[in-house]
Structure 1
Amino acid sequence: MPSYTYRGRNSSGQEVRGQLEAPSRDEAARAVQGLGVTPLEVKAAAAAGRSIKLGGSFQGLFEEKVRHEDILLFFRQIYTLLKAGVPIMRALTGLQESAVNQGMKKVLQDLRESLDSGRELSAAMARHPRVFDGFSINMVRVGEMTGMLEEIFLRLFHHMEFERFMREQVRSALRYPSFVVLAMGVAIVVVNIWVIPAFAKVFKGFKAELPLMTRVLIGFSDFMVANWIYMLLLVVAAVFGFRSWVATRGGRYAWDKFKLRVPIAGKIVRKATLARFARSFALASKSGVPVIQALSNVAQTVDNAFISDKIERMRDGVERGESVLRSAIGAGVFTPVVIQMVAVGEESGSLDDMMQEIAEMYQREVEYDLKTLAQQIEPILIVFLGIMVLVLAMGIFLPLWDLGKVAMGKGG
């Protein structure tokens, strides 16, 4: 992984210099922000200062990646060890020896070596931006400054458990509609490639003029049968094109904004995302992170580019001297009930507690919406199935009925 040197200023205005490893310059800048430093300059470190391993470019392809569960387990275990009075170096050594994931084992080894060379734990974690996000790094830094490191690790454990729960809720919300759409798409393909051609042969045998709807169905079916390979290639290209588009900043923003507008499932995604925002902000605020810095870090954790942009605008408003309430109203993503709770929290000085309640409220609503998701989607599914049956009846079964009556008339 390439190394980058940075120059910036901390919250006290003092100039800070350092070096860290990151996949790209942008990731390095985000890692610096996670340390509570405003980056002024980030550039690649000199090649002489880095060791080059033979085949290193291919090693990363086969190296076991660190999963969310590995980080979750690390936070819980290191909290338990520190709580029991085990020195941090011994704790990291024990965790490294017991780690099953080889990628996590290497991360723990690098953390030990960094601490041994005089770095702080937060700075050592910042060398692995793909493993530890800016929010976690900043929280550990706050724990080091306040002497509450073990408590911070416990809070991060509960926070990541909540993050995983919300992420699974969003996937559950999108899984059923996606399955319904996929099933209907497969049904349309099967009907057009196998069912309609069989009826088309019957119609041609009668040599009668067919209704317009029947001719349209047969024409579309013939087109699919003749060009299915090109249509399959077009679908594959569309999938790859979509993934490449979503990987861009503008594409990710547009797609995340669209997900929030999807009927029924969109409101669940929005509530789950805002629950993660409220929980992250409550944790950062309760741990002593300044509001502006908390909003900057939380914006990176919501996993939705559209909501993240709204949070960054909230941060800009607070930087200009606006209250959190006024900035939240300007964001335009919170319900009046949430706005009222923010107002009460800010006025009473218990904003972190109110944000925690907001997160729990959104969590309850997401769980309820998921329980009733099938009931909400069934009417839409019935309407679409009814349309499909109506089209098939008008295009296929009515001509058969008419031709049957003609044949019976001739027989009489």
Structure 2
Amino acid sequence: MTVYSYTARAADGQKVHGSIEAESPPAAARMIMERGASVLSIEERRVFHFPRILRLRSGITAEECIAFLQELSVLLAVGIPVHCALERLLAGEHGTSMGRVIRTLHRAVMHGMSLSQAMSMQRQVFSSVLVGMVRAGEESGALDVVLRAAASFLTEVHRTREAVRSALLYPCFLLAATLLVLALMTVFVLPIFAVLLADLHTALPLPTRLLLAVSAQMSAAPAQTILVGGTILTAVGLVLRVPSVRFLWDRFLLHLPILGDLVSFGTWQMILRILAILLHSGIRLDRAVALACTVTGNRVLERRLQHVERCLIEGHSLTQILSDEPYLPPLLRGMLAAGEEAGELEHILPQAADYCGRRAEAIGQRAAALAEPIMIVFVAGVIFFAVLSFLLPIFDAMDAMM
């Protein structure tokens, strides 16, 4: 018997966490459902969980995941049951990484789990956002429609991510090349230069002393230097996983110029797109907001959405709740209020999401345009510092000789 940790939603709508002993994940899920709860996620309990930054990737690309959703939606749309559709998809993915994922899904579904429950066991492949959308499709009886919308949504997100990555490729390459050259100079050139400076018997300026100290440390103990650097990066990653620290970091990001607007509009685009899909699938607004909480990736906005959910359950209108929402752009506030008053919220949400997408794209292009000159100035500053460190002691020695 294996112990599994799980997250479930009780009959009253509250999330519950716990552990259960069972022979397999499907058996554990059945035991949880017998208690009247809906399984959100389940995984084998381990003594120690490596942080996400150290986990191996699943090997599944975004294109493969999108293709899987599109093909599955087509099969379900023509009336093929989920387990049969997965079996047909498995035949075309034999021996691939995606094929192994589909085989796991098919086995779980055949053991009585729903598709969303099976996907929640593959969190390294399917995000909590996607699992929530699939669960909404199952609840509304329009799983094929939701899968098709999810594929379109993921395609849009992937396209935006690739555009940002392409825009930042040159600045990142420039930064990496500069740091590499600086490291090579520090390790190989500065030790020779230090011997020459010692023969001059002159006081070294501060920039030169700093570079020589770094060079001595890297030359004397390169493995120790790399280990210390890796330890610092790992420590930063672990600290950012602390909820209170992550909340402060996310709030700091939202208040940054340009980048804060990019994060805000990009996140609201995903939230509104998810809400549009869920409402179209027949999910109640409060339930849709609860599911959309998993899409944010930002603890501040997630907490604000949880506040919206509580107010909706208490009977407040969306217009009243959003009237004092500090992190919602004013134009979006007006669009959503107008949509609710006209009873067309389901139709106004895609338009609001499109608006956020256009704003995020425009801000991203402006940020990418600013990144290049900023990186050039930074690289120039690094080169100037290095050259100054070389030349200042030579100038001082020449002055002393004269």
Q: Deviations over 1:165-195 (max 9, x none)?
A: 3444565577666555555544443343333
Name which of 90, 98, 119 aligns with 2:92: 98
| 1:280 matched to 2:277 | no
Q: Deviations over 1:305-364 (max 9, x none)?
A: 332222222222323333323433544222222222222222222223322122212222
Q: Is the 8 A contact 1:281 1:295 kept in 2?
A: yes
Instruction: Give 1:306-317 correspondences, 5 Å limit.
Output: 306-317=300-311
Match of 1:24, SS state, is: strand
Match of 2:295, SS state, is: coil
Distance 1:385 1:404 in 2: 29
Deviation at 1:120, TM superposition (A): 5.8
Q: Deviations over 1:30-61 (max 9, x none)?
A: xx37xx86247665445478899xxx999xx9
Deviates more, 1:218-227 or 1:311-320: 218-227
Instruction: Give 1:286-325 correspondences, 5 Å limit.
Output: 286-325=280-319
Sort the Cα spacing of 1:202 and 1:362 in 2 relative to 1 into closer, same or farther, 3 A.
same
| 1:358 matched to 2:325 | no
Instruction: Give 1:188-227 correspondences, 5 Å limit.
Output: 188-227=182-221
Q: Is the 8 A contact 1:272 1:366 kept in 2?
A: yes
Distance 2:286 2:56 in 1: 40
In structure 1, the gaps of 5 or more residues are: 4-22
Q: Deviations over 1:223-280 (max 9, x none)?
A: 4444544322111111222333344434544444455456654543333222111111
| Residue identity in the other structure for 2:106 | Q
Deviates more, 1:302-311 or 1:139-148: 139-148
| Aligned position for 1:231 | 225
| Aligned position for 2:106 | 109
Deviates more, 1:129-138 or 1:232-241: 129-138
Distance 1:253 1:377 in 2: 26
Deviation at 1:377, TM superposition (A): 1.8
Distance 1:355 1:209 in 2: 68
Sort the Cα spacing of 1:392 and 1:51 in 2 relative to 1 into closer, same or farther, 3 A.
closer
Name which of 2, 10, 13 aligns with 1:38: 13
Sort the Cα spacing of 1:170 and 1:353 in 2 relative to 1 into closer, same or farther, 3 A.
farther
| Residue identity in the other structure for 2:273 | R
Q: Is the 8 A contact 1:135 1:300 kept in 2?
A: yes
Sort the Cα spacing of 1:319 and 1:167 in 2 relative to 1 into closer, same or farther, 3 A.
farther
Deviates more, 1:88-97 or 1:279-288: 88-97
Q: TM-score, normalising length from structure 1?
A: 0.73
| 1:77 matched to 2:77 | no
Q: Is the 8 A contact 1:169 1:272 kept in 2?
A: no
Match of 1:340, SS state, is: helix
Percent sequence identity over matched residues? Answer: 24
| Aligned position for 2:39 | none
Distance 2:57 2:231 in 1: 29
Deviation at 1:76, TM superposition (A): 1.5
Distance 2:203 2:83 in 1: 86
Distance 1:148 1:321 in 2: 27
Q: Is the 8 A contact 2:70 2:148 kept in 1?
A: yes
Sort the Cα spacing of 1:337 and 1:369 in 2 relative to 1 into closer, same or farther, 3 A.
same
Match of 2:188, SS state, is: helix
Q: Is the 8 A contact 2:90 2:99 kept in 1?
A: no
Deviation at 1:97, TM superposition (A): 2.4
Match of 1:332, SS state, is: coil
Match of 2:294, SS state, is: coil
| Aligned position for 1:271 | 265
Instruction: Give 1:105-184 correspondences, 5 Å limit.
Output: 105-110=102-107, 112-114=109-111, 136=130, 139-140=133-134, 142-144=136-138, 146-168=140-162, 182-184=176-178
| 1:328 matched to 2:322 | yes
Q: TM-score, normalising length from structure 2?
A: 0.75
| Residue identity in the other structure for 2:321 | S
Q: Is the 8 A contact 2:202 2:393 kept in 1?
A: no
Distance 1:134 1:386 in 2: 43
| Aligned position for 1:18 | none
| Aligned position for 2:389 | 395
Distance 1:49 1:221 in 2: 55
| Residue identity in the other structure for 1:106 | R
Distance 2:58 2:374 in 1: 43
Distance 2:240 2:292 in 1: 21
Sort the Cα spacing of 1:252 and 1:164 in 2 relative to 1 into closer, same or farther, 3 A.
farther
Q: Is the 8 A contact 2:269 2:354 kept in 1?
A: yes
Q: Is the 8 A contact 1:65 1:103 kept in 2?
A: no
Distance 2:389 2:179 in 1: 19
Q: How many residues align?
A: 375
Distance 1:249 1:145 in 2: 31
